[in-house]
Amino acid sequence: MANRRPVIVFLILVLILLTLGVMMVYSSSYPFAIKYAERFNNDPNYFGKRQFIFVIIGLIGMLVAYKLPINFFRYASPAILFGSVFMCALTFTLFKDQTVNDVYRWLRIGPISFQPSDFLKLGVGLFFPAVMSRRKISGQTRAIILFIIALSAGVVYLQKDLGTVIVILGVIFILYFITHMTMAEFLLYTSGGVIFLVYAIFGTQYRRNRWNAFLDPFSDRLDTGWHAIQSMYAVANGGFGGVGIGNSIQKHGYVYAAYSDYIFSIISEELGMFGGMLVIFAILGIVLIPVFFSRKLEDKYERLVLLAFSLFVFIQSFIHIAVVLNAIPAKGITLPFISYGGSSIITYCGFAGVALNIMSKGKLKVQRK
């Protein structure tokens, strides 16, 4: 029974965030759906209904992942990883969905549109623990690891999705660092990461504008600083107790992507600092439970998969919330389990199902008396 308690708490926290996400997507997307009613079947609840469907599909995926044998993920991980990379590459072909500002992130097959880079997170979270759980890694394997890292990050970077690149590279770096990374590799990857970040921030004009807006958003309050200012206004307007669900002012055309990339600002406005802190604590619970549970597991692969899940949730959540608070330069990225988006919801629900599977069925270390 002692092993079931953290599993139950973990599941409850995930369900709470999913439920809150549906509520907040309904609320934050309502004005946008009304303004562009012709695009969304004249349905003001268009996004909320779709989010509810995404959650149902995600919960089914979570159940399937929970029921599958743990070794399935170990052996299927290469197919999931390279299949996701292949789908990311397809976003530049005839299968691509409509692009916004020449950004190729979505894939359309018939009536279904999705973002394959989200599925790549699951592939990375299952594949790299399988490689890094080995006792020794040869020089050839290290070269292969570097190639796969470059391939995975490169295809996402070409989609102009810097946020996902940072999340993926951050998870891989930490997993590699705590397992087999040599000092030479540490110096290589850290110096390369610094160079990449400098180029990513200052390499293009629009990213330099974002950096300047981060430093002083009020210097160009009607253009590059607009998103940061309106997001901070939303958080400030919420105060401690919030203005109430549905009563946000900033969602009425002020906060950009209020139902996805900036949904935490609307949560803070409608539920206040109190509600925002509860969300943060729930996320921390989802992150920390697998981390602490992993210390009890005997199988190294299972431990690393749990750690990979926690890292993905933590890093992505940190970036989202930091952007909302203008603590880092603006970067569009969703809040796991909450923001609108089928690909993100289904991926993280499936990954949570894997984590539940391992915490429920993983072999525990024998405790010495």
> Could you report how far apart the first and last alpha carbons of the chain are, in Å?
19
pLDDT recorded at residue 146: 87
Tokens for 274?
Answer: 């109190």
Q: Within a domain: residue 323?
A: yes
Q: Within a domain: residue 243?
A: yes
- pLDDT grade, residue 243 (50/70/90)? very high
CA distance 298 to 189: 30
Q: Within a domain: residue 104?
A: yes
pLDDT above 60 (res 310): yes
Residue 122's identity, in one-letter code, is: L
Sign of CA dihedral 228, 233, 234, 235: positive
Main-chain phi, psi angles of 45, to 5 degrees:
-100, 20
Out of 15-19, 32-36, 170-174, which region has the weakest mean confidence (pLDDT)?
Answer: 32-36
Residue 316's identity, in one-letter code, is: Q
Q: Within a domain: residue 229?
A: yes
CB atoms within 10 A of CB 78: 15
- pLDDT grade, residue 69 (50/70/90)? very high
Q: Within a domain: residue 366?
A: no
C-alpha triplet 137, 142, 144: angle, nearest 5°: 120
Taking residues 187-201, what's their average pLDDT? 88
CB atoms within 10 A of CB 293: 22
pLDDT above 80 (res 13): yes
Taking residues 243-268, what's their average pLDDT? 93
CB atoms within 10 A of CB 183: 7
Tell me the CA distances in angstroms from 107 to 4, 283, 341, one per residue in order.
39, 29, 13
Nearest to 308 by CA among 151, 127, 118, 72: 127
pLDDT recorded at residue 18: 97
Tell me the CA distances in angstroms from 21 to 18, 133, 236, 263, one per residue in order.
5, 35, 21, 9
Q: Within a domain: residue 227?
A: yes
| Structure confidence by residue, pLDDT tens digits, 258-296 | 999 999 999 999 999 999 999 999 999 999 999 999 999
CA distance 77 to 301: 12
Tell me the CA distances in angstroms from 6 to 78, 96, 286, 288, 356, one per residue in order.
30, 41, 10, 10, 10
Domain that holds residue 34: 4-361
Taking residues 91-114, what's their average pLDDT? 66
pLDDT recorded at residue 89: 83
pLDDT recorded at residue 2: 44
Q: What is the pTM of this model?
A: 0.92
Residue written as tokens 């029921």? 67
In the chain, count H helices and then E strands.
12, 2
CB hemisphere CA count around 42 (13 angstroms): 0
Out of 30-34, 139-143, 306-310, which region has the weakest mean confidence (pLDDT)?
Answer: 139-143
Average pLDDT value over all residues in the chain? 89
Concatenated DSSP letters for 238-276?
A: HTTT-S-TT--STTTTTSTTTTTTTHHHHHHHHHHHHHH
pLDDT recorded at residue 3: 64
CB hemisphere CA count around 315 (13 angstroms): 19
pLDDT above 70 (res 61): yes
Say what percent of the chain tops pLDDT 70: 94
Q: Within a domain: residue 369?
A: no
Taking residues 137-144, what's their average pLDDT? 85
pLDDT above 80 (res 255): yes
Residue with the bigger pLDDT between 280 and 134: it is 280
pLDDT recorded at residue 219: 85
Tokens for 41?
Answer: 């079947």
Q: Within a domain: residue 367?
A: no
| Distance, C-alpha 158 to centroid of its chain | 18
Number of folded domains in the chain? 1
Sign of CA dihedral 325, 330, 334, 340: positive
pLDDT recorded at residue 97: 56
pLDDT above 70 (res 103): no
- pLDDT grade, residue 1 (50/70/90)? very low
